[in-house]
Amino acid sequence: MTDQLVTAPQGQAYAAALDLLSDRRLVVLTGAGLSTDSGIPDYRGPGSTARMPMTYSEFVGTAAARQRYWARSHVGWSRMRHADPNAGHHALARLDPELLITQNVDGLHEAAGSGRVVALHGRIDEVVCLACGTTLPRAELHARLDALNPGWLTAHADVESRPDGDVELDDTGDFVVPDCPHCGGVLKPHVVFFGENAPKEKVLRCYEAVDALTHPDSGHTGALLVAGSSLTVMSGLRFVKRAARNGTPVVIVNRGTTRGDDLAALTVHAGTSDFLTDLAGRRGR
């Protein structure tokens, strides 16, 4: 059950959360709110837009849908690829939790130096062929898209950015999308779309890490820290449910309310960069 809700860093729950997490083994779950300080918008935070991303069935359903996706994503990726890790990413790299589970696809945890990372929803800097399974670097496809659509990025330099490398753009009918260079199949970003499931082996690894926080041979109970996720989708919420069922304390740090608030020992309404930096300092990292 939630003990307190605060809106200021100096609030009692903020301090209590630092105390609770100061010497426990940690598993950390991060969401889009962790990357907003790097200039990447989130889906549900303050000021975010309500439009849902393209679903998997929509993407595979028609060539027009794929054309619309890649036309927007080409612009968005040209911006996201230059995003840098923020203070929260760097603090998590210093904290080096037992496992860092991220719902983000931006690769910024790895860029900051985190090693034990499960990118639950994949990486936007990779592309996969749905026919032959070949994986390509996103930079390679980006160069092909640039060559096939000269002037596209310049013409749409002022469109608004959206989460996960998307942008606000509707006039996409002239955009040219290449096929897989190996078999001619459909290319898709190597990420989990809405309507897809996260890979089973990744989910099992995350469950194992959460369960190990309460293993009888591991000393006192660890904690699950959620940073920057609204937990709106079950993809992340299931780990909070698992930890709570195990009796593992859950601390949620997010600017808004979440679906997991009633399962948390402490819910702190604060920015993740400040909190994680303070936590790393508290733990001498």
Write out the catalytic residue numbers: 121
- Say how far apart CA 71 and CA 237 lie, in whole Å: 32
Whole-number Å distance between alpha carbons of 285 and 15: 18
Would you list the DSSP string of 234-271?
HHHHHHHHHHHHHT--EEEE-SS--TTGGG-SEEE-S-
180 is in an annotated binding site: yes
Q: Is the dihedral of CA 166, 171, 176, 177 positive or negative?
A: positive
183 is in an annotated binding site: yes
Closest CA to 45 of 271, 224, 262, 264: 271
**26-30/99-102 β-pairing:** parallel
HEC-encoded secondary structure of 77-125: HHHHCCCCCCHHHHHHHHHCCCEEEECCCCCHHHHHCCCCEEECCEEEE
DSSP helix/strand/coil, 55: strand
Residue 129 annotated as part of some ligand binding site? yes
Q: In what order do the strands lie in the sheet with 187-191?
A: 135-137, 122-129, 187-191
Please enumerate, by residue number, every residue annotated as part of a binding site for Zn(2+): 129, 132, 180, 183
Please enumerate, by residue number, every residue annotated as part of a binding site: 129, 132, 180, 183
